[in-house]
């Protein structure tokens, strides 16, 4: 396959669905296996594809998707948003961010609203753009809101490499990057966990490799299949996960082998290890997860915006919205949140899950999952 359209081919998809139905028919004969089979897709990109292309409706009722915490915008806590907003309002600061973050509400406002009041907030497509802005504005301090999973952590190192090479002293980052495996550890170790298999995100494994999931499979006896983000990718991942469940085994399987491999990118990982160390990180609605984030190493703390402006005290999250955490850990669907499409909508969001391009609530809202219709 060479083109995206091939991964959306209707006949191929129907063929994979036919195989899925055959496996499910065999699973139903096995009293050992409890139904429905619940598969958690980790990435919000997978969630959007599942709903956009109707994959959830095309599968037999014995297979149910459970949505995981795979949206870095969604897992960023309100107190971090508040800190970012305070940094953006500082004199002589140009605050840069990926576009997804601009509509995420803090305690009182979002980035767009702060920009309308005079804060110099700019949308960038790559972290390296923020370094270029710093070069062009030597009399300003330029801050990049460094969010993301392992996938985005790699291009953030590119920006730091440029800043280091060119001695850009007016550039810093607000590091909030998070790691997937520790979050899965929290979910799988929960006594109430109802997950039978996991569809891991292919882009994360492209950087970090598939091998980092092997300890989780061994410890929790849950199949993990790495997939891409198009319909054929996801359906293939579902088929492989179901085959493992039918056969009573748990392995890490790679259904994204033309991009990801066991070891990942040695270049990307070496740069991540150069600039960052593993730290504890707080996740929205979940709390502090040990070893779940990347923080700058001591020799690169000059690039840490939180240290540069260490006297800023952003308002802490007063009362966490427990429903965001329940959605992020797969315990409820967005439609089961009492605020969904009521107090919380895309026009007036309560949480990031409603406005992020990878948010589960945004996917349900956009594709009208609760009505079965597409906008």
On whether residue 137 sits in a domain, the answer given is yes
Whether residue 39 contacts residue 64, with contact meaning beta carbons closer than 8 Å, is answered with yes
Judge if 160 and 266 occupy the same domain. Answer: yes
* Entry pTM: 0.91
Judge if 168 and 227 occupy the same domain. Answer: yes
Taking all residues of the chain, what is their mean pLDDT, rounded to a whole number?
A: 92
Judge if 163 and 27 occupy the same domain. Answer: yes
Count of CB atoms within 10 A of residue 94's CB?
A: 21
Judge if 178 and 326 occupy the same domain. Answer: no
pLDDT of residue 328: 87
Q: What is the CA radius of gyration of the chain?
A: 21
On whether residue 271 sits in a domain, the answer given is yes
Judge if 304 and 334 occupy the same domain. Answer: no
- Asked whether residue 374 carries a pLDDT value surpassing 50, the answer given is no
Judge if 220 and 341 occupy the same domain. Answer: no
Express each pLDDT in 128-145 by its tens digit: 999 999 999 999 999 999
- Asked whether residue 373 carries a pLDDT value surpassing 60, the answer given is no
Q: Which of 65, 124, 67 is nearest to 96 (CA)?
A: 124
Count of domains for the chain: 2
- Asked whether residue 22 carries a pLDDT value surpassing 70, the answer given is yes
- Asked whether residue 55 carries a pLDDT value surpassing 90, the answer given is yes
Whether residue 141 contacts residue 92, with contact meaning beta carbons closer than 8 Å, is answered with yes
Q: Give CA separation, 182 vs 137, 139, 203, 216, 291, in Å.
A: 39, 40, 17, 9, 7
On whether residue 277 sits in a domain, the answer given is yes
Express each pLDDT in 116-128 by its tens digit: 999 999 999 999 9
Judge if 122 and 55 occupy the same domain. Answer: yes
3-state secondary structure of 375: coil
State the pLDDT confidence band at 70, using cuts at 50, 70 and 90: confident
Judge if 302 and 281 occupy the same domain. Answer: yes
Q: What angle do CA 224, 230, 235 make, to 5 degrees?
A: 50
Count of CB atoms within 10 A of residue 167's CB?
A: 6
On whether residue 175 sits in a domain, the answer given is yes
| DSSP-derived secondary structure letter, 273 | H
DSSP for 311-358, written as a single string: T--PPP-SS--HHHHHHHTTSS-GGGSTTBTTTB-SSS-SSGGGTSTT
- Asked whether residue 73 carries a pLDDT value surpassing 60, the answer given is yes
Q: Please compute the mean of the pLDDT values over residues 187-213 and round it to a whole number.
A: 94
DSSP for 64-75, written as a single string: EEEEEEE-HHHH
Judge if 102 and 211 occupy the same domain. Answer: yes
Q: Please compute the mean of the pLDDT values over residues 368-372 and round it to a whole number.
A: 54
pLDDT of residue 258: 87
Q: Which range of residues forms the domain containing residue 134? A: 1-314
d(CA 307, CA 174): 9
Judge if 232 and 331 occupy the same domain. Answer: no
Judge if 305 and 243 occupy the same domain. Answer: yes
Q: Which helix (H) or strand (E) holds 131?
A: helix 127-136
Express each pLDDT in 260-310 by its tens digit: 999 999 999 999 999 999 999 999 888 899 999 999 999 999 999 999 998
């Amino acid at each position: 396959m060479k083109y995206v359209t091939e991964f959306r081919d209707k006949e191929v998809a129907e063929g994979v669905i036919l195989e899925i139905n055959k496996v499910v028919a065999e699973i139903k004969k096995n009293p050992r296996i409890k139904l429905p089979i619940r598969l958690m897709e980790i990435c919000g990109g997978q969630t959007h594809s599942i709903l956009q292309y109707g994959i959830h409706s095309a599968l037999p009722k014995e297979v149910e998707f459970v949505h995981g915490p795979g949206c870095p915008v969604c897992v960023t806590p309100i107190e971090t948003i508040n800190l970012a907003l305070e940094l953006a309002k500082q004199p002589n600061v140009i605050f840069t961010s990926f576009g997804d973050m601009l509509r995420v509400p803090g305690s009182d406002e979002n980035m767009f609203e702060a920009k309308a009041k005079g804060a110099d907030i700019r949308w960038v497509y790559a972290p390296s753009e923020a370094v270029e802005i710093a070069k062009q504005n030597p009399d300003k301090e330029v801050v990049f809101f460094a969010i993301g999973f392992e996938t985005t952590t790699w291009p953030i190192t590119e920006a730091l490499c440029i800043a280091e090479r060119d001695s850009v002293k007016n550039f810093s980052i607000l590091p909030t990057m998070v790691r997937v495996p520790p979050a899965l550890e929290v979910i799988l170790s929960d006594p109430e966990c109802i997950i039978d298999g996991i569809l891991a995100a292919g882009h994360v494994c492209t950087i970090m490799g598939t091998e980092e999931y092997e300890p989780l499979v061994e410890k929790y006896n849950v199949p993990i299949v790495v997939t891409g983000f198009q319909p054929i990718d996801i359906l293939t991942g579902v088929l492989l996960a179901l085959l493992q469940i039918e056969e009573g085994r748990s392995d890490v399987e790679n259904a994204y082998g033309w991009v990801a491999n066991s070891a990942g990118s040695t270049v990307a990982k070496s740069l991540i290890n150069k600039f960052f160390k593993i730290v504890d990180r707080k996740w929205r609605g979940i709390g502090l997860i040990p070893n779940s984030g990347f923080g700058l190493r001591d020799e690169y703390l000059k690039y840490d915006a939180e240290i540069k402006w260490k006297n800023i005290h952003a308002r802490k999250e007063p009362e966490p919205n427990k429903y965001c955490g329940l959605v992020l850990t797969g315990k409820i669907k967005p439609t089961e949140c009492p605020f969904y499409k009521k107090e919380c909508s895309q026009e007036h969001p309560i949480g990031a899950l409603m406005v992020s391009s990878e948010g589960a609530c945004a996917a349900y809202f956009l594709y009208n999952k609760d009505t079965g219709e597409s906008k």
